[in-house]
Structures are given as C-alpha cells and as structure tokens.
A = this chain, B = another copy of it.
C-alpha cells in the first residue's frame, strides 16, 4: 500500500469510525480499522460484530494494499497533524508497519495483516426505501430516547420498524418503548417491498447512523432483510445486524379515547419541569401535576432539601385531575421534537397519557403516569 490522501478527508473518515469500533474488545482486532487502498480511493471499514461501517475517500493510490491499524491511535495521530499540510502519505512497510508522512512529521504505526480482519457479513435485502438525511434524523431523534437501557428487557433494546397505512398512503414508522413510555415517528414510505416480520434495530446502530447525518439534504437508502438492515448514502454505508426478540404489540397500550385534553406551551413548561425536577429527588423524577381550569400546578418535595411549587398556564378541556409524571419524560419529548406546544390526552389519574405535537400526525408519545402518595 502506498497512497496520498487529503488530510481533512482522512481525518473525517477516521472520526466516523471511532464510535463504531469496540473500545474494550475481547478480540483486539475489533478495535482496529481496516484500510484498503484501491484504484483512486482509500476504503475504511470498522465494526463491532453488530455494526459494520464502510466508507471511501478519494486518494492517489500508487500501490494498492490492505491492512488494519488501531483506530483510536490512528485517529489521534491524524487529528494531531499540522493544518498547514494538506496531504498525507500512507505506506505499508515490512512487518505490517504503517508509515504516515505529513510535512516534517513521520509516524510508524504497528498494524496487522488485512486478512486477519473478519469479512463483511452477508446481506439479505428484501426491500427498502429512500429518504432524506433530515427525515432519517427526525425518525431517530424522536424515538432514540425511549429505547430501554435495561439489557435484560429482551425485545425492548432496539427500535421497531414497520410499514403502516395512513389514509391510503404508506409510511415507515419507528417505535421504541422502555415499558414506562413509548415513542413513534413516521416518514413517507416510497419503498418497493414489504419488510420482514421482525425489524428491531439496536440502539448503537441508530446512535451511529445519527452521527453520519451531517447533511440534511443528502439522500439515504435503507435496505431491510430478515436479519440485517443497511443504511447507505453515497460512499458511506452502515450495515446492521438486527436484534433478536419480539417487540411487544404496542397498540394495546393506546387508549381508544380520552376524557381530558390539555395544551401546554414549550418554554414555560420546560422551565417549570427543570425547577421542579431539582426537588424531585427519587430516581423516577416524580413531579406532582394538578391540572386545573387554566393552569397546571407542579410540585415536588425532597424530605431533606425541601419542596417546590410552580404554576404554568394550561388550556384544559375536561375535569380537573391530579396525577404524577416523571419530569424527564416530558423534557425529552420537548427536546426531541423541538415543538412549541405539547398536547396531553388523558383519561383518569393512572391511565396512559398520549402526548401529541399539535399540527403533526407523524409522531406520537405515550407516558405512563405515576402513583404518588
């Protein structure tokens, strides 16, 4: 391998792989990045057994070749190079040493043979769709936060994807739940084939795909199979092994109707939740909510530190209600949707609360209230 590559391109490529490689790998090579120099391009590949990221950057390749090197170390080296030197030369020498030259800097890095790196897993695409980077980002942002963090909640550790029909038009819906709340978000489905029965994307895959969505206008293609999904845009792709496990039939938790509807404004509600949350000292961030004519009273108390009471304007349609919520759940919905208003459709004190964004039919959230003594 002997090639010349633009420093910024190489740096961008290596930044992209850092989240994908394993930090504390059981097999050392899983912390490496695979470098493959081909005609006119350097291809980088990194993964952790569940994700495989593949990307390609223009390069002047004088001698093709393939090798691996520790991704964090190579990333630190390239990030440290002088801004004044636009070009980096990479040469594979004896004993799998990678020589990196840039201006008057020369690194010799210990690498391994490219054939030691595990092959890319097979794909089993059965269909897919195209969407914009902005749509894909919205799907992920509006659902990522309610994936269960409990590794033992089999079936809840990922985001469920399905195709739904809304008024005769097909949509792709992403759904997540941790048992106490649920989020869904939808985009138009212009795809060609139905998806498999199970479609559960691991949390880390969504986190890493989200990092790649720096250009909202870029077009992305997502292909689905029974065991894998692939996100692809230009020279960049992320292949994901789907999670095992059955996502629950989440439609069962959706109440068919509501008795009360409240509309709240973003900024006052966020401020109130932040303040009341300071005294919500239990691990559930329990906040007492009293919905009354024209206002919502929020309060919390901590047996040691004290207590807090707060009031925000609320447009209530229905009878007054006292209940409790985890303050963080509402904060995260406001954070993910960036919406100016929240609409809460409630039954009685312990019934699931449906949270909607007024004016939008392509997302929906469910929050379970809490019993407060």
Contacts and interface: CB of A to CB of B under 8 A. Distances in A.
A309 interface: yes
Contact of A105 (B73, B97, B105, B308): B308
Interface in A82-128: 82, 97-98, 104-110
Q: Name the interface size band of chain A.
A: 20 to 34
A143 to B, nearest CB: 28
Contacts of A271: 80, 82
Contact of A81 (B107, B108, B275, B312): B275
A274 B105 contact: no
Nearest to A111: B306
Given A106-B309, A109-B306, A110-B304, 14 more contacts: A70-B305, A73-B278, A73-B306, A77-B275, A77-B308, A80-B275, A98-B306, A104-B311, A105-B309, A105-B310, A107-B275, A107-B306, A109-B305, A110-B306
A82 B275 CA distance: 9
Interface string A255-294: 0000000000000000110110011000000000000000
A76 interface: yes
Nearest to A102: B275
30 contacts: A70-B305, A73-B305, A73-B306, A76-B278, A77-B275, A77-B278, A77-B308, A80-B271, A80-B274, A80-B275, A80-B278, A81-B275, A97-B306, A104-B312, A105-B272, A105-B275, A105-B309, A106-B308, A106-B309, A106-B310, A107-B279, A107-B306, A107-B307, A107-B308, A108-B306, A108-B307, A108-B308, A109-B306, A110-B304, A110-B305
A69 to B, nearest CB: 9
Contacts of A105: 272, 275, 308-310
A337 B77 CA distance: 26
Interface string A299-341: 0000011111111100000000000000000000000000000
Nearest to A271: B82
Pick the 6 closest A-B CB pairs, nearest first.
A109-B306, A104-B311, A80-B275, A107-B308, A108-B306, A106-B309
A73 B277 CA distance: 12
Contacts of A306: 73, 97-98, 107-110
Contacts of A81: 275
Contacts of A82: 271
Contacts of A109: 305-306
A105 to B, nearest CB: 5
Nearest to A279: B107
A308 B98 CA distance: 11
Contacts of A80: 271, 274-275, 278
A108 B76 CA distance: 50
Contacts of A107: 275, 279, 306-308
A275 B81 CA distance: 7
Interface string A45-74: 000000000000000000000000010010
